[in-house]
Chain A
Amino acid sequence: MTELNESFTITGVDGSRKPFVTLGVLPLLVYLFFMLAAPLAILVVFSFWKADFFSVTRTFTLENYSRLATSPIFVSVLFKTLSSSLLASCIAVLIAYAMAYAIVFRLAVWGPRVLTLVMASLLSSYVVRLYALTTILGTNGILNKALIASGLVRAPLEFLLYGYPAIILTLIYVYLPIAILPIFASLQGIDRRLLEASRDLGCGPWRTFLRITLPLSARGLRTAFAFCFILAGSDYVAARLVGGMNGQMIGSIIADQFGGASNYPFGAALSVVLVAGFALVLSGCYIVERATAWMATRSFWRAFAGLRLSLPDIPLTETITFLGLVFLFAPLLTVMIFSFNNTPNPGIPFTGFTVHWYVDVVQDPGFHRALGTSLTIAAISVAGAMLLGLPAALALARRQFVLGHFTMLAIFAPISVPGVVIGASLLATFITLGVKLGVATTAAAHVMLVIPFIIQVIRARLEKIDPRVEEAARDLGSSPMRVLRTVTLPILATAVLAAGILAAAISLDELLVTNFTIGTNATVPVWISSQMRIGLTPALNAVAILMLVGSLGSIAIGASATRRNRSRRFAEEIGEIKA
């Protein structure tokens, strides 16, 4: 939220806050309590119990934590996880800032189109995109072949895959689009008149950037970093796939404890320590940020910010944006090309053209069933998340209340906990309560997972609406419900649509939690991961492309359904995720 928007929020405070806040936020908090807080609390308790075979013995112990603390292996993996996600997040945020800056300030009419492309890169199967990276970076991968063919190197560069560089590169690839969105939203919210005023007062571009743009977008930057860092730290699939013998992350060890190792207490202790590690690093970043802000008031920084640098007039952010798009789309292009490969391998060598993988997928009854289940879950979870998220977003954007910050923390809690931990704790809870696993339990879990995104998109849009418009409607005699129906919701339509599509995309690609809660059913990601047991085939590339085309088709339909300023507005809405 920008400073300007915050002032809108304050203006919107009125005397009827209590029922508004209660109705808007309470159902969501109750839901999060039962779906997240209670299961996680049980997990924390587990971490102080002893392990039994796929169960626990209720004897208090600290041995899980002492085992962790005294094991150089686990400590080093924890350090590796946090350091690699920290490095990847820093790089991703820098690139994301340049791209978001270009989208907002430099690319004019191309900006929204580039943003839509960035979003589109998220709308395909995550796992299949990761496999495409191995096709590009492998020993005899596309990149090495290109480098050798061009004479730049004589032998394949083996460090490109299976090592730290590959892990960092892959984490940047996966989380770059997610970093771009909040930064874009914060830059988009900056009043251009402030930049104009700065220039009118004689500041050069560099000084204007340091004194105006950067401070006003700091919040988006912070959010982007937190998103990236937490998601990258929880992600173990990417590192395992491309990291070779260095690819074990703490999330992987947690998953193993809830799997074959059957040591729930130790898995719980690892989860608690991981979340504590996130909190520690983010606190450290906050301290660094405050220190930087303090330094900004010192003479050295003032002198630095006041420098009149004559930077060469090169399109730096535009170039980074172009390269960033190539980086994001190269794997997608690889997925697409090799979905037509004639061999059962979705990578090089490309031996011939065929469309039979698409025919196979379209005719596969297992895929039909999985697709039907996925679409049902996505529909229910989007509807449920809207039902809970829309009132909460309204309350958060229009009212300031005592539990406001707590509510925001609660909303983002599902992102900060590794998926495997959420999945395992939900499984234990559902089984204990005798709730039958299936579509309903998975949809309930997905509601929790997509709510942060829905609330952020809608809230960001709400903060841009001048509350005086609603006030005017009330002054003219409209009831609160009528104001909501005839003023607020119509203005929010594009944001709701964008949030819904984003949420559906997340739901359709979710695997870690789903695998625990789906029971006797299967979703598309579960079907894909099961299919991989006999080898990744171009059929899975075909599935990923079909998912991408389907999602883009939905976006196109949604965009055309919006009447005014549709493509630009829609691209803006979908990117308005910020804290």
Chain B
Amino acid sequence: MPKSRESSDYPYIILNRRGVLKSLGLLGLAPAAMALTGIPSAAFAQSLTKDSIAAVTGPFNILGSQPYETRESWPKDLEINWAYNTTNEEILTKTAQPGSFDAVIIYQGEIDQLLKLDRIEPIDVSLLSNWNQVAPMFRDAEVIRRGGKIYAVPFHWGYGYLEYNADKVDAPRTYQDLLSPKLTGKIGMPDDPYAVITTFAVFAGAKRPNNLTRQEFDATIKLLKSFRPQVLTIHNYGDEIGLFARGDIWVGFPEYSNSLSKSRAAGAKNMQITSLAAWSYIDCFMVLKDAVNKAAAYKFIDSSLATQSQRLSTKHSLAFPVNDAAIDAISPELRYESSTQALANAPMMPGVTVESSGPDVPFQEWVQAWIEFKAT
């Protein structure tokens, strides 16, 4: 478990400066002092307690995807400013300016990238009253930890499934079924190198689909390239709903939780899913190192884990809750008994390394391979 903010993990000099700044802050001079010293205001947020988190008010800037913007569940005493990312990578560009955001919501695979850029810090979950409401499968997951410290608080989860139109095609049971001539030019894939290459790594038989050796990576990309004739288009997330409804594609993978019900509602009434090559992701809160209102970040995160909040955000986003008490809010066609049971068919992934000196192929190479695949 991470240590308290008052632990010796934090440089002594910062504590001293913070003390000075606190005194100045009482005199209303803090902003001027910070501007002069260049010390980010995040220094104020180091000494958090449950009480200070409960009492915090003021602005809170969060960056996340729109489906999770559930205003009804927001703490009323925060002035919440929600900014949107449309791709995973935008998290990296949009948090480049220190102090812009207090927290972000992104899948656990981005931890390494944000850590490499020194943007996030460990989260002290002892400050979250609702932490114990998170299902143990997520709370104890290794994929949210680095070096034993928690960097990401699970918010929602989902698994990438294979979706097909049962009016047009039988359920694909193996990878070979997807190569049927009947499916040539009838398959769609999202424009997401992480998701697609992970799925093809599973198809290629990689034991750790996010941690590919050079040989495994090459085999995976070769398999992906051989699959090209089957693919009609590489779409943005959400576009598959129209593609299925119009009959342009019959199979899509990996697709996520909101896709099935929306595709059915849009007119592709006999859409079905299989767990072929399925794997899971967790969309998490991460707290930024330069957060201006870190207490507000903790307050917001804590509030989002409560059962009622999870129900609301599950209904709004159609993603699965990490609090099992909110399972009843999942749409009937995807509802499960417990997250343990649901996760059995779709293992969690840790994310892809960004270190180029290690044994695994780094994420940057995944993206370049994906770009070349698309452009070939």
Q: Which residues from chain A sit less than 8 Å from chain B, CB to CB?
A: 53-54, 73-74, 76-77, 131, 134-135, 138-141, 158, 161-162, 240-241, 244-245, 247-248, 252-253, 256-263, 343-349, 351, 365-366, 424, 427, 430-431, 436-437, 515-516, 518-522, 526-527, 529-536
With A262-B364, A263-B364, A366-B66 already in contact, the answer to whether A54 and B92 are too (CB < 8 A) is yes
* A563 and B324 alpha carbons, distance in the complex (Å): 67
0/1 interface trace, chain B 60-89, chain A, CB 8 Å (1 if under): 010101110101000000000111111111
CB-based nearest B residue for A141: B246
With A53-B116, A53-B364, A436-B97 given, is the CB distance from A535 to B92 under 8 Å?
no
Q: Which residue of B lies closest to A423 (CB)?
A: B93
Task: Answer yes or no: B172 CB below 8 A from chain A CBs.
Answer: no
Which residues, 80 to 120 on B, are CB-close (under 8 Å) to A?
A: 81-90, 92-94, 96-97, 100-101, 113, 116-117
For B, the interface residue count at a CB cutoff of 8 angstroms equals 64
The residues of B that contact A531 with a CB separation of less than 8 Å are 66
Option from B61, B193, B238, B258 in Cβ contact (under 8 Å) with A520: B61
State in angstroms the CA–CA spacing of A244 and B66 once bound together. Answer: 26
Q: Inside 8 A of B191's CB, which chain A residues have their CB?
A: 240
Interface residue B237 (Cβ < 8 Å from any Cβ of A): yes
A245 to B248, CA, bound (A): 13
A98 to chain B, nearest CB (A): 32
**Is the CB of B317 closer than 8 A to any CB of chain A?**
yes
A73–B375 CB distance below 8 A = yes
Which residues of chain A have C-beta atoms less than 8 A from B364's C-beta? Answer: 53, 261-263
Q: A260-B87, A261-B367, A347-B242 are in contact. Are A516 and B375 (CB under 8 A)?
A: no
Q: When each residue 174-215 of chain B gets 1 if its CB lies under 8 Å from chain A and 0 otherwise, what string results?
A: 000000000001000001010000000000000000000000
A245 to B364, CA, bound (A): 22
A358 to B65, CA, bound (A): 22
- Give the complex CA separation of A131 and B237 in angstroms: 14
A residues within 8 A CB of B88?
Answer: 260
Please judge, given known A-B contacts A534-B67, A536-B239, whether A253 and B83 are in contact too, CB under 8 Å.
Answer: no
Given the known interface contacts A366-B82, A519-B83, A532-B238, the answer about A260 and B89 at a Cβ–Cβ threshold of 8 Å is: yes
A535 to B371, CA, bound (A): 23
| Cβ distance A197 to chain B, nearest Cβ, rounded Å | 55
Which chain B residue shows the least CB distance to A261? B367
Contact B242 A140 (CB under 8 A): no
Q: Which of B94, B245, B375 contacts A253 (CB 8 A)?
A: B375
Given contacts A261-B364, A520-B61, contact A54 B84 (CB under 8 A): no
Instruction: Give chain B residues whose Cβ lies under 8 Å from the Cβ of A252.
Output: 374
Q: Is the CB of B267 within 8 A of A351?
A: yes
Does B376 have its Cβ within 8 Å of any Cβ on chain A?
yes
A256 CA / B93 CA spacing, docked (Å):
12
The verdict on B30 contacting chain A, using a C-beta distance below 8 Å, is no
Contact check, B262 vs A535: say whether CB atoms are below 8 A apart: yes
- Besides A139-B246, A162-B233, A345-B241, 10 new A-B residue pairs in contact (Cβ under 8 A), listed by A number: A162-B232, A162-B248, A260-B193, A346-B242, A526-B86, A532-B86, A532-B236, A533-B237, A535-B258, A536-B238
Q: Cβ of A245 and Cβ of B228 under 8 Å apart? A: yes
Contact among B94, B96, B267, B374 with A248 in the assembled complex (CB-CB below 8 Å) = B374
Instruction: Out of A244, A343, A348, name the residue touching B265 (CB < 8 Å).
Output: A343
Contact A138 B238 (CB under 8 A): no
Would you give the 0/1 interface string for B224-264, flagging 1 where the beta carbon is closer than 8 Å to chain A?
00001001111011111110011110000000001100100
Q: Is the CB of B93 within 8 A of A516?
A: yes
Q: Closest chain A residue to B59 by CB distance?
A: A520
**Contact of B334 with A by CB under 8 A:** no
Question: B237 near A261 (CB under 8 angstroms)?
Answer: no
Closest 3 CB pairs of A and B: A345-B266, A530-B84, A535-B238
In the complex, what residue of chain B is closest to A72 when comparing beta carbons? Answer: B376
The residues of B that contact A536 with a CB separation of less than 8 Å are: 238-239, 241-242
* Bound: A161/B243 CA distance, A: 11
Question: Can you name the residue of chain A whose Cβ is closest to the Cβ of B66?
Answer: A530
Q: Which residues of B contact A77 (CB under 8 A)?
A: 375
A520 touches B266 (CB 8 A): no
From A135, A259, A344, give the contact of B89 (CB < 8 A).
Answer: A259
- Counting chain A CB atoms within 10 Å of each CB, which of B93, B100, B116 scores highest? B93
A533 & B65 in contact (Cβ 8 Å cutoff):
yes
Q: List, in ascending order, chain A residues with CB within 8 A of B259's CB.
A: 535
Q: Is B45 an interface residue (CB 8 A)?
A: no
A527 in contact with B84 (CB, 8 Å): yes
From B66, B85, B245, A347 is in contact (CB under 8 Å) with B245
Q: Which residue of A lies closest to B94 (CB)?
A: A519
In the complex, chain A residues whose CB is within 8 Å of the CB of B318? 534
State whether A534 and B245 are in contact (beta carbons under 8 Å apart), knowing that A247-B233, A365-B71, A521-B83 are contacts in the complex.
no
Query: Using Cβ atoms and an 8 Å threshold, which residues of chain A touch B101?
Result: 520
Q: Which residues of A contact B372 (CB under 8 A)?
A: 73
B132 at the interface (CB under 8 A from A): no
Contact partner, B245, options A74, A257, A345, Cβ 8 Å: A345
A344 and B232 contact, CB distance less than 8 A: no
CA distance A135 to B89 in the complex (A): 29
Query: Are A138 and B248 in touch, CB under 8 angstroms?
Result: yes
- Pair B239/A535 contact, Cβ less than 8 Å: yes
- Is the CB–CB distance between B96 and A134 below 8 Å? no
- Give Cα A400 to B363, complex, Å: 55
Interchain CB contact under 8 A, A529 and B246? no
| A532 vs B67: C-alpha distance when bound (angstroms) | 10
Whether A344 touches B233, Cβ cut-off 8 Å, given contacts A520-B83, A520-B101, A531-B66, is no
- Evaluate contact between B267 and A530: CB separation under 8 angstroms: no
